[in-house]
Structure 1
Amino acid sequence: MSACQTEVKICEPGGGGILLPLFGDDEQEWRKGLRAVLYLLGLLWLFMAVATVSDIFMGAIEEITSKKKRVLNASTGRYFTVKVWNDTVANLTLMALGSSAPEILLSVIELLGNSFYSGDLGPSTIVGSAAFNLFCISAVCVMAIPDNEVRYIKETNVYLITAVISLLAYLWLYLVVSVISEDMVDIFEGILTFLYFPMLVALAFAADKGYITFIKRTNSDNMHIVHKGKLELSDEDMARMSKADGMQISDEELAKYIGTESQRMSKAAYRKRAHDQVYHGKPAEVAKQRNHNFSAVVPAEEPPLSPSGGYVAPPTPAATVLFGGENFAVLETVGLIKVPVRRTGNLSLSVHVDYSCRDGTAKKGEDYEAVEGTMTFLPQEAEKTIDIKIMKDDVPEDSEDFFVDLTNVRCACKEGFAALGPVSTARVVIVDTDEPSVIYTDDDVVQVDEVSRDKEVRVTVRRRDGCGVVSCKYVTEDGSAVEGRDYARAEGMITFGQQEFSTEVAISILASATFEDKEDFRLILSDATGRAGFDPNTDGGADSCIVTLVLTPVEVSKNLAHRTMRALGVNWQKTQKGHENWKDQFINSLLVNGGDDEAGPPSGFQWALHLLTLPWKLLFAIIPPVDYCGGWLCFFVSLMFIGLVTALISDLAGLVGCVLDMPDFITAITLVALGTSLPDTFASKAAAEQDPYADASIGNVTGSNSVNVFLGLGLPWTIGSCYWASVGRTAEWQKKYQSEANFDLWNSGDGKFIVIGGDLGYSVVIFSVGAFFCMFVLFLRRKVFGGELGGPRVCKHITSVILVMVWCVYVILSSVKSLESAAAEVCR
């Protein structure tokens, strides 16, 4: 900036922004203290507005990216239902735009409202928002996971691409404004910055499809996670298990059936535990607290007191008894498992130890024959076994476990005493070998003629293999047909009893009075239980089964109207539904909690929040619902409203900084960055708690930060550089920059788009160092705990505190540099 400020500030008479101050010069005469309070409250109110309209915007994006289509698999000759949008592409394009729209539009609007001169607010908000997203949102997500549970990033190849490119993006930002063309951005740099965005999408898509691979998935990957979950089998245990059982279990089977630590169970394990609690009472604890110190069992009295009156340390045990391993896995067909028990120490002694079995998810008498008794180690005997019979059944089920405990170890002579070793409890996992059931339907497509009155269609669902009780969920989903107009929603649970191999799902087709083309909707079967699955060769693959129901109109009576509606490209059913939903938007905006009856009576806080946001709710009810044009109309209209609110935020943030004598840079990296990022914080916390992986919570942060640079700076840089190259070096431009050190260099040739990189470049360097440190911390958590999020309680707190402190250091250092720069620009 110039050495002596000659421009009129936004908060001074004669100054102003795009839309504010609301009362013009009269407002500029108000006391600064009063204006500061009003502007801060107004800024908070605008943050509520941008959060509200951004939710509508994200709803439109969700509608757009959830579209599905049927494609032909040439190898099988069958049609499969797939998403139109690839998930990775959707996350880095529309989803990233949805979460970053305020920051991106703020940067563009600031440029347009500032006569195409670069400002501090937009670019600084992008860097400040990136810092808050990476440091603070990561800290929140780490803490959101229950103690001793973890969430890890599943799509590691995509994450590595976006993480590396996000660091390179901010390095590129620093190079442009501080090194390559210092304090200046030319057309080439602006366009290249923008073109990095499609390059990022292409690389991430290639990684998603497996064309770019940094980490190859193998059958032992799951076992690796088990190891990091602190439940592992040593090589000795593996060898003993194979020897004792006479059967070899693959790494994949072990990972699948043993890799369920009691503190981090699979969804099926939780379901099994709940089932057992209902039908068998409360299950026993799956893990007994182990004493890793020697706990001596001495048949005599307590150790004698020392002459000083204190207790002496217990002597070292002469013999120690423990299991040969903590975990053992057997197939249910093994018949007999021999659990090894070892005796170490003085082998000349006779040692006795009691043993017993207790239930886990496996039940004695049903899955195994419980044994108990006393084991005696005669002199020179170092190892014995506990023989337990495993009972085979014909019902497919999840793997189950039980436990064997050693207690009351004692020595038969007075030459020493015996103690239990650190492994006094062994876990035995019984791996089911029964053929799992496969749930399927006869046809992927069901043709239904249009009806003049309601009609019930029954879809037959079958299962093959297996004989136990299995179930799955079913639900209908809109295609071009509309729920409530073309068909009645169907949702529920299908259950196959013992020896039951077929059932039916009833769906009501509603009488239609419209004249349209063929319409379709889907019946989706998912979440199979009882170790059942779906046929991978049918529509939906191994995770679900999809049946497409096609409604065919009667051509004879509807020919002319059919052609007319098809030519107009209108889905009249969706349009009518849109009309109703649009009306409901206005009604729901007047009701607390949107009129949701299930939310219960509103609290005082909810009433206050409702009254504060009521004007915004009514205003944004103008936005068309997602039922029109496949969600695109809602997308563009809500984007316009985000632009309007962002323009107000730009003006109000400038006013706040002006009346508080705070540089725009500090306002941007604190108030504005926090306000625009808080909705993402709550969304990420919810994703961390509810999603089984960390991709949706922190995995997308790096991609969003990259998009911020490539779009949030690439767009205004391209616009600004092209504008000044076309209009040249105007008198106003020369007056603005004439006192800059590089003015003589800039004041030649075409017009230059000036982006002063002092504070921005310094902030980018601090952020980049912190970003590298943050990613390193998350990498260490993956290696130590098996996941980036969660872990032991103390470690979670330490990680979160460290990440928040990194953000505080970034804000403090960047703010100090900005204040120093502002002090240097004060007129002497």
Structure 2
Amino acid sequence: MNSYSEFQIMGKYYVVVNLSVYFFILIMDVKCLGVECYNNSKCVEGLIIPIWNPVEIEFADTVIRSVIYIFALCYIFLGVSIISDRFMASIERITSEEKDVELVMKNGQKVNIKVRVWNETVSNLTLMALGSSAPEIMLSVIETCGKDFQSGSLGPGTIVGSAAFNLFIIIAICISVIPDGESKRIDNIGVFIITSTFSIVAYVWLYLILGVISQGIIEVWEAVITFLLFPITVMLAYMTDRQVCSKFLNACLRRKGPVKIRMEYDEDIEEFEHLRENYMTTFKEMRLKHPTADVQNLELMTITEIFEKSKKSRAFYKMQATRMLTGGGNLFRNSLSKLKTNFLEESNSGSIADSKLQRIFFDPVHYTVMEDAGQIQVIVKRAGGFMGSTVFIDYKTEDGTALAGIDYIECSGTLVFKANESEKEISIDVIDDEVYEDQEFFTVLLFNLVVINGQKSLNYQYEVSKVNRATIMILDDDHCGTFNFETDIAHINESCGSVMVGITRTTGSRGIVRIPVKTIEGQAKENVDFIVNNAKLYFKNEEIFKAINVEIIDCGEYSKDKDFTLEMGEPKLIEISDNPNARRKKRFAKRKSGIAAEGIPKLGDITKIRIHVHENSVYKGVVDKLILTNNVSAPITKSTWKEQFIEALSVNPDESENNTTPPSLISFILHYISVFWKLLFAFVPPTEYCGGWLCFVVSIFCIGVLTALFGDLASSFGCTVGLIDEIIAITLVAVGTSLPDTFASKYAALNDETADNSIGNVTGSNAVNVYLGLGLSWSLASIVNASRGEIFTIHQGSLGFSVTLFCILATVAMVIILLRRIPRFGGAELGGPIFLKYISSCFLISLYLIYIIISSLHAYCKLDI
């Protein structure tokens, strides 16, 4: 779905809600209201923008000014969204900071990993919440400071209106956008209960200080407590997330005397092990789906799968929403592309082969033949470099235990590789005799490389590889053989599926021989860790190799070291030959007397093999590399101003899988509308400088300036059309500042596996709005007024009533959300049965309409409560 479609969907919600609101407001006879409720005095000057007073008050003039104000508001709002994108990028950079920690795993293994400095719950309630609510908070603070530390209506009204929009409309949208038949639950329900409780406590506290404790007056202690409720909320949420209370109680039950809670990395260990298991499982799934793919492609497919399923931060989703609405492309696709590029660069660093170097080598380097084979073909290859050259290389045979003229025919010569030829063969004759011998070998050597037309001007190089000697093993065919495992110890990966354990037959290959094999369990248990399929092997006549198939059961362990043993029993000769007419049987029969002494099959020196099963080294290597590139913030963090300006001037595809699909027309239109803001804010320092803090400070300053402009324009627009600041605040300004969060929550609802990011953070943002937005501004104002010997008064208007009404409706909404966790009511906060899903969404939207309509009626004294 492109940004235009997203705009259409969200536009439907916006139009339905706001047209309903304005319909009820504008039908009221504003002119007949008393001065206590509505003062139609001359509009006041803005903090930055002066008031636009018309020459003559006419309907046409009012319409023109209203339209201009609306366009100006939309454009300033666009600028706020774009600088908020930079602000959220800095927050993502700060909260994703990592440190090296040595963890001791449950099996005693020490692992050096990177863990995040910031706890996720703390970052969501502090910087992430500040990033989501920055316009509302800055508007309240700037309005208070701009009015000489006196109260205003726009800032507090926006905070309450924004809270209502967040709780009712955003959650309603998140519930309904989940595909039919699917559902998503809040994972960290403890933190959600804390934040939702304190979001309601925040507005209950506002009601108390506005209408009960000191009506219309904010004292210093009230304002300071309002601000201090913010760190209290964060601390309680953190303790709930880390289960501090349960750990304390468990510690009290275990020991007497003073109890000391150990703040270890237990959760980090569990998270790390879960992450590794998730990566390994995904990699195995990709391998099963694509059995012919190489390791690197499997790695990239694993990265894609993990990235799409991984939990993103709220900053990521808000940046995604902003870029989709400004022609900046799909942040998911762009980030994934950069993540793959970084992964490939790290994987290929230091391992790039020299494409101009050509090597000549044997392939394979070991050959085993029977002495009656007659002739053997030894293969020589060349690879790499310039294949258009002609290459000469000499070869010769050299004796080992096998002697030229007795066991094989000596040979030497020159191989000529013509242009584009990559393979040559050397033919060597083997001599067959009737004398019993042990296995023997000789070698073939490559030397004296000569190159013609080797493109020396292009610095091509040629060399004889280190693999310049091939070994040929000759096995005697006049003996039943000696049987050995290939090695006495083997190390295999647990996810290999199966392994072939080889048994070799040397010093002869006569007759059909049976070899029994038994299993000796160690730490690895049969039918749990492995299965041996063929416990008896039969060697046919002249057959020199057999393998036992052992299935390895993959238990999905990252760190594993278990062993078991296979042991050969005494070999038994079944028949002398499987070819009764063979010439060798006659020769063998003439030498029957020698069979008992040296011709019968016997065991060699390696009759046992211990097999150690470890974690898959390939999987382990992939997982380790994936963990190193697990930081999602890396792809969205800009390292230079150059990259920021390139992105500011670029129009990216909306939902394309790659960059070959051109952007849509609406993307170009949105880009050119917003290109001024993009270029302006490209001057903001990149997030890599000072760990993101420099970008954070500059961005929040820019947000403050734009918010002041936005507040002035909103107030002037309300004055022009005859709407008071309280109504403009809870409708136009609140919806405008909350619209990016709506898109962000919608993306989170669709892409996350849980509902924590989509609706879990809504309650946290609502609490932060009050504690920071009002707590900070009112603390400054009350302290300044107290130092002057004055009282900080609040022009309540409809604020006290709006707070009271919101508390009641918010409690009802929270009950509905929690009831949805009960299986009979859907079993999850998001999605669920179609009927319940849409009923819940409609009910929450109706709560928002009730809040807006009743608040507006009360503000205009149409409802006397």
Q: 1:593 aligns with which of 633, 636, 652?
A: 652
Is it true that 1:582 corresponds to 2:623 in the alignment?
no
**Structure 1 residues 472-511: aligned runs within 5 Å:** 501-503=616-618
Contact 1:395–1:466 (8 Å) recurs in 2: no
CA deviation digits over 1:149-178, x for unaligned, max 9?
A: 111111111111111111111000111111
Q: 1:105 aligns with which of 125, 131, 138?
A: 138
Cα deviation for residue 791 of structure 1 reads 0.6
Q: 1:40 aligns with which of 34, 58, 70?
A: 70
The answer for the alignment partner of 2:371 in structure 1 is none
Contact 2:37–2:859 (8 Å) recurs in 1: no
Amino acid at match of 1:585: Q
Contact 1:70–1:82 (8 Å) recurs in 2: yes
The answer for the alignment partner of 1:816 in structure 2 is 857
The answer for the alignment partner of 1:69 in structure 2 is 99
Cα deviation for residue 686 of structure 1 reads 0.9
Q: 1:683 aligns with which of 724, 741, 744?
A: 744
Q: 1:58 aligns with which of 76, 81, 88?
A: 88
Relative to structure 1, the CA distance from residue 78 to residue 790 in structure 2 (aligned partners, 3 Å threshold; closer, same or farther) is: same
Contact 2:134–2:703 (8 Å) recurs in 1: yes
Distance 2:186 2:653 in 1: 34
Cα deviation for residue 466 of structure 1 reads 11
Distance 1:651 1:704 in 2: 24
* Alignment gaps of 5+ in structure 2: 1-33, 251-277, 293-526, 532-550, 565-612
Distance 1:16 1:813 in 2: 29
Relative to structure 1, the CA distance from residue 104 to residue 150 in structure 2 (aligned partners, 3 Å threshold; closer, same or farther) is: same
Q: 1:787 aligns with which of 807, 822, 828?
A: 828
**Structure 1 residues 220-259: aligned runs within 5 Å:** none
The answer for the alignment partner of 2:48 in structure 1 is 19
Contact 1:590–1:614 (8 Å) recurs in 2: yes
Distance 2:740 2:629 in 1: 34
Distance 2:39 2:204 in 1: 33
Contact 1:120–1:664 (8 Å) recurs in 2: yes
**Structure 1 residues 335-484: aligned runs within 5 Å:** 434=553, 436-439=555-558, 464=561
CA deviation digits over 1:190-238, x for unaligned, max 9?
A: 1111111111111111111102469x99xxxxxxxxxxxxxxxxxxxxx
Q: 1:764 aligns with which of 803, 814, 819?
A: 803
Structure showing greater Rg: 2
**Structure 1 residues 211-290: aligned runs within 5 Å:** 211-212=244-245
Contact 2:281–2:556 (8 Å) recurs in 1: no
Distance 2:67 2:624 in 1: 54
Contact 1:759–1:821 (8 Å) recurs in 2: no
Q: 1:116 aligns with which of 118, 129, 149?
A: 149
Distance 1:394 1:504 in 2: 18
Relative to structure 1, the CA distance from residue 277 to residue 66 in structure 2 (aligned partners, 3 Å threshold; closer, same or farther) is: closer
Contact 1:437–1:466 (8 Å) recurs in 2: no
Cα deviation for residue 632 of structure 1 reads 0.2
The answer for the alignment partner of 1:189 in structure 2 is 222
SS in structure 2 opposite 1:61? helix
Relative to structure 1, the CA distance from residue 23 to residue 656 in structure 2 (aligned partners, 3 Å threshold; closer, same or farther) is: closer
Relative to structure 1, the CA distance from residue 717 to residue 640 in structure 2 (aligned partners, 3 Å threshold; closer, same or farther) is: same
Amino acid at match of 2:617: S
The answer for the alignment partner of 1:138 in structure 2 is 171
**Structure 1 residues 657-806: aligned runs within 5 Å:** 657-728=718-789, 751-784=790-823, 785-806=826-847
The answer for the alignment partner of 1:451 in structure 2 is none
Distance 2:117 2:651 in 1: 36
CA deviation digits over 1:417-438, x for unaligned, max 9?
A: xxxxxxxxxxxxxxx9955133
CA deviation digits over 1:651-704, x for unaligned, max 9?
A: 011011100110111111111111111111111111111111111111111111
Amino acid at match of 2:698: V
Contact 1:124–1:669 (8 Å) recurs in 2: yes
Cα deviation for residue 821 of structure 1 reads 7.7
Distance 2:660 2:692 in 1: 27
Relative to structure 1, the CA distance from residue 4 to residue 502 in structure 2 (aligned partners, 3 Å threshold; closer, same or farther) is: closer
Contact 1:61–1:635 (8 Å) recurs in 2: yes
Amino acid at match of 1:775: M
User: Aligned-pair RMSD on alpha carbons?
Assistant: 4.1
SS in structure 1 opposite 2:659? helix
Is it true that 1:608 corresponds to 2:669 in the alignment?
yes
SS in structure 2 opposite 1:70? strand
Cα deviation for residue 73 of structure 1 reads 5.2
Q: State the identity %.
A: 44
Contact 2:94–2:692 (8 Å) recurs in 1: yes
Contact 2:37–2:797 (8 Å) recurs in 1: no
CA deviation digits over 1:116-151, x for unaligned, max 9?
A: 221111001001101111111111111122212111
Distance 1:141 1:465 in 2: 48
**Count of residue pairs the alignment pairs up:** 493
Cα deviation for residue 26 of structure 1 reads 7.7
The answer for the alignment partner of 1:348 in structure 2 is none
Is it true that 1:83 corresponds to 2:116 in the alignment?
yes
Contact 2:95–2:123 (8 Å) recurs in 1: yes
Is it true that 1:632 corresponds to 2:662 in the alignment?
no
Contact 1:21–1:27 (8 Å) recurs in 2: no
Contact 1:524–1:547 (8 Å) recurs in 2: no
Distance 2:37 2:821 in 1: 52
Distance 1:147 1:273 in 2: 26
Distance 2:189 2:805 in 1: 26
Amino acid at match of 1:754: T
Contact 2:154–2:726 (8 Å) recurs in 1: yes
Amino acid at match of 2:665: G
Distance 2:224 2:178 in 1: 42
The answer for the alignment partner of 1:307 in structure 2 is none
Distance 1:80 1:594 in 2: 36
Distance 1:641 1:91 in 2: 22
Distance 1:805 1:169 in 2: 23
SS in structure 2 opposite 1:81? strand
Relative to structure 1, the CA distance from residue 796 to residue 465 in structure 2 (aligned partners, 3 Å threshold; closer, same or farther) is: farther
SS in structure 2 opposite 1:41? helix
Relative to structure 1, the CA distance from residue 803 to residue 117 in structure 2 (aligned partners, 3 Å threshold; closer, same or farther) is: same
Distance 2:152 2:862 in 1: 15
Distance 2:149 2:793 in 1: 10
Relative to structure 1, the CA distance from residue 677 to residue 547 in structure 2 (aligned partners, 3 Å threshold; closer, same or farther) is: closer
Relative to structure 1, the CA distance from residue 464 to residue 609 in structure 2 (aligned partners, 3 Å threshold; closer, same or farther) is: farther
Amino acid at match of 2:555: P
* Alignment gaps of 5+ in structure 1: 218-265, 281-391, 397-431, 441-462, 468-497, 508-522, 527-543, 549-573, 729-750
The TM-score, its normalising length taken from structure 2, stands at: 0.52
Amino acid at match of 1:608: I
SS in structure 1 opposite 2:558? strand
The answer for the alignment partner of 2:195 in structure 1 is 162
Distance 1:525 1:775 in 2: 43
Distance 1:623 1:211 in 2: 40
The TM-score, its normalising length taken from structure 1, stands at: 0.54
Relative to structure 1, the CA distance from residue 107 to residue 2 in structure 2 (aligned partners, 3 Å threshold; closer, same or farther) is: farther
Cα deviation for residue 598 of structure 1 reads 2.3
Amino acid at match of 1:818: A
Cα deviation for residue 85 of structure 1 reads 0.7
Amino acid at match of 1:777: I
